[in-house]
């Protein structure tokens, strides 16, 4: 599945997730934390799979989005900050 294919099926979901991730990016930027835009694909596809697999009953949208941020966004920030400290 590519982002383009997923976008055709769930355009609103992709736009919503991308918008929220952009908000996270602007919040973290003043602290010197950058999000890799190349990983955007994984973030939106995470939520696409949540929707495609009908996980709404098991995992509400906000909870799924929290897990997406915890699993796909924050580890990258931690790794980048840890690397910067070693340099």
Domains held by the chain: number: 1
User: For residue 36, what pLDDT is reported?
Assistant: 67
Residue 26 tokens read as: 């602007």
CB neighbour list of residue 71: distance below 8 Å, 6 or more residues apart = 46
Give residue-wise pLDDT tens across range 9-63: 889 988 998 888 888 888 888 877 777 666 667 778 888 889 989 999 999 999 9
User: For residue 77, what pLDDT is reported?
Assistant: 73
Helical residues (DSSP H) of 1-87, grouped into ranges: 3-9, 11-28, 40-52, 61-68, 74-86
Tell me the residue range of the domain where 56 lies: 3-86
Q: How far is the first Cα of the chain from the last one, in angstroms, to the nearest whole number? A: 37
Residue 19 tokens read as: 């918008």
Residue 83 tokens read as: 């690397």
């Amino acid at each position: 599945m590519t982002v383009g294919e997923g976008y055709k099926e769930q355009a609103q979901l992709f736009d919503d997730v991308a918008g929220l991730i952009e908000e996270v990016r602007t919040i973290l930027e003043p602290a010197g934390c950058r999000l890799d835009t190349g990983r955007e694909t994984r973030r939106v596809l995470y939520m696409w799979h949540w929707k495609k697999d009908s996980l709404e009953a098991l995992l509400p949208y906000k909870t799924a989005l929290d897990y997406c941020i915890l699993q796909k966004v924050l580890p990258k920030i931690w790794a980048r900050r840890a690397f910067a400290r070693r340099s």
